[in-house]
Structure 1
Amino acid sequence: MSANLGQRLRDTRKHRGLSQRELSKLSGVPLSLIRKLAHALKIPTTQLITEHAETPAGPDTANHWAPVHTALTATPQPTDDAPEAPTYNGVRDALHAATPLFSTDRFDALRTVLPPLLRDTETLTQTDPRARPLHARLLELTGWLMTQTRQFDAAELALKRALDDATDHVQAAATINTQWWLLLRRGKLAQA
């Protein structure tokens, strides 16, 4: 999108004799929604509609996070081969301990902690249905992290899987909120 998109939209709207409300009605995008998005993001409405979509991370970032990508796409291994099978309490405690790393942007620690936690949680969901909410939460957090680090395809995969595993409306809403943010960062405003 060009930097003068807002001006072009305004000029075209006025040329056609439409008010903002009429344009909103014809487009199916409520003006209030655009204003709410801008307010939530703490930016002017014009910046929201004229800003460029973020470009995905480069190959160096993807290589840096390769173990997480591998863990996201890995098929669970049978626990017979593992020296110690993951337990519900162990995975729950590990997720609880890792959660603050996301909110404090401790990316190096997350790069180390996430692969085994993703594998253990995925493996545990095969044998213990109680692990599904843990898995959904971990995937939602991983999707947030991948969005934060501009690894949009990995974020999309993690968030889709998180939504599939969500066991309640609150978890589903949290995942959808993160998917919405991913769409905005990708420049997909209409889809968001």
Structure 2
Amino acid sequence: MSDVNTQNTLAARVRTLRKRCGLSQTGLAEQAGVSASLISKIEQGIIPETTMATAHKLARALRTNTSELFASSLREAESETLIDHVWKPVEQALNGTLPPVNEDPSLDDIQRRLRALKPLLAENRYREVALELPGLIRDVEALDDVRTPRSRLLNVAGWMFVQTHQYALAEMTLKQAVDAAEDRLDAAAAVVTLGWMQLRHGRLTEARELSVKWADAIEPRFSRATTAELALWGRLLIRISGAAVRDNRPGEAEDAIQLARAAAVRIGREIQADSSTHNTFGPATVQMIVAENASIGDKYDKVLTVAERIPKKLLHVNGSGRNRHRLDIANALLATKRPTEATAVMHDIYRTSPEWLLKQRYARRIMDGIVYRRRSLTPEMRALSEALTITG
């Protein structure tokens, strides 16, 4: 059990702020939309940490910032499962411990192989990416060419580490990607991924401040900006908005999303946001983030209204961004008492992107909610629940 006698513990912070707000444990539970027993267990130190979703609800009810209330107690994205052995060679390549090959690598070959990763990323074929990365990393490190695409390759590796919950490796790799960048756009692309890692790891202040710093550094002049400059600036603004809304800073989140919308309107369509990952940016991407922010604020009707306006055909129909949006739709359907429709959305994601879905704790929480609300489960619900439980 945690030491509840110091003001640095989650238990003490929640109890102190609750009393300042004049709330009982039951009153806080009602305002936050959680159980009174959860509040009791947190204040007793029985539950020393919580999820990002619960953290945001409690911070909002206590009228404080999520990061200030929970500090290091967030566990939204801490690794809970053993890392698949397929990623070990990638780590070895980054450490320079893979055996060398006899042939000298060529820049053209490396660039071709790097381009070939993009459809694999877009289709969430992570194991195939993992098999390609070690040789690519080894070869790019051995390349005797000043035009090396090292930063872009490291950004891909870092992106994959985030996606598979390997956060220490992700942070190390992405910082190397920033340092290795030949221009500010490649550096900004790596910062976008690094900010995503910090966001998923509950480091909201770091994610927001890093993204603000780089958004200010690369802010384009609309009259002569390239689409690449606008897209990366827009992705950074999305990071700012995501960190701010989770940190109970709705004004900052809205300001950032309005600027991102302006950049998206200027571009006028969905485009590839950088030269390494499969991130996209455009009007539809901004709308998906608007829906995500609404979901975090429990505005489920808005999630569904926004979702209806987003085109079904996007640059990457089954990419991770689109799939994350579909989870927001499933969650909103569940919250509005439509578990059958929520299951249908979940099943469709599982059909097209099983490798991605089974990595998502958000998906497991939604499925747990479906199971809890149903007296009996359909075969489809049982299959999804079993698949997500096994991987959890």
Contact 1:144 1:155 (8 Å CA) reproduced: yes
Say if 1:9 and 1:71 are closer, same or farther in 2 by CA, change over 3 A: farther
Q: Which has the larger radius of gyration?
A: 2
Is 1:191 the equivalent of 2:213?
no
> Is the counterpart of residue 56 in structure 1 residue 72 in structure 2?
no
Residues 147-183 of structure 1: CA distance to partner in whole angstroms, max 9, x if unpaired? Answer: 0100011111110110111111111111111111111
Q: 2:174 corresponds to which residue?
A: 159
Aligned with 2:83: secondary structure? helix
**Structure 2 residue 106 is matched with structure 1 residue 97:** no
Preserved CA contact (<8 Å) 1:57 1:149: no
Of 154, 157, 170, the residue aligned with 1:142 is 157
Letter matched to residue 154 of structure 1: L
Change (3 A) 1:115 1:46: same
Query: Residues 83 and 6 of structure 1: is their aligned pair in 2 closer, same or farther, counting only changes over 3 Å?
Result: same
* Structure-2 change in CA distance of 1:104 and 1:8 (3 Å): farther
Aligned to 1:180: 195
* 1:11 to partner: Cα distance: 7.0
Gaps of 5+ in 2: 1-8, 23-52, 60-65, 208-392
Query: 2:125 — aligned with what?
Result: 106
- Report the CA distance between 1:62 and its aligned residue: 5.1
Higher RCO, 1 or 2 (CA under 8 Å, sep at least 6)? 1
- Render the CA deviation track for 1:8-53: whole Å, top value 9, x for unaligned: 76874x67xxxxxxxxxxxxxxxxxxxxxxxxxxx8x945937643
- The alignment of Structure 1 onto Structure 2 pairs a total of residues equal to 155
Separation in 1 of the partners of 2:138 and 2:80? Answer: 24
Give the direction of change, closer, same or farther, for the CA distance of 1:146–1:9 in structure 2 (3 Å limit).
Answer: farther
2:105 to 60, 64, 86: 86
Structure 1, unmatched stretches of 5+, are 16-42
Post-superposition offset of 1:63: 2.9
Identity %: 33
Using a 3 Å threshold, how does the CA distance of structure 1 residues 180 and 139 change in structure 2: closer, same or farther? same
2:162–2:197 CA contact under 8 A, matched in 1: yes
The letter for the 2-side match of 1:108 is R
Partner SS state of residue 129, structure 1: coil
TM-score (norm: length of structure 2): 0.35
- Report the Cα distance in structure 2 between the residues aligned to 1:9 and 1:166, rounded to whole angstroms: 44
Give the structure 2 partner of residue 66 of structure 1: 88
* d(CA) in 1 for partners of 2:14, 2:115: 44
Q: Report whether the alignment pairs 1:128 with 2:150.
A: no
Code of the residue aligned with 2:95 in structure 1: it is T
- Backbone CA RMSD of aligned residues: 3.1
Q: Identify the residue that residue 375 of structure 2 maps to in structure 1.
A: none
Cα distance in 2 for residues equivalent to 1:11 and 1:172 = 46
1:75 is displaced (CA, Å) by 6.0
Contact 1:53 1:186 in 2 (8 A): yes
For 1:46 and 1:117, the matched residues in 2 are separated by 40
1:63 counterpart letter in structure 2: H
**Secondary structure of the equivalent of 1:140?**
helix
TM-score by length of 1: 0.68
Q: Distance in 2 between matches of 1:190 and 1:11?
A: 25
Distance 2:178 2:87 in 1: 22
Once the two structures are superposed, residues 125-153 of structure 1 have per-residue CA deviations (whole angstroms, 9 ceiling, x without a partner) of xx11011xx11001011101100100011
* Paired residues of 1:76 and 1:122 also in contact (CA < 8 A): no
In structure 2, relative to structure 1, the CA distance for the partners of 1:69 and 1:75 (3 Å cut) is: closer
**1:119 and 2:138 matched:** yes
Cα deviation for residue 103 of structure 1 reads 2.1
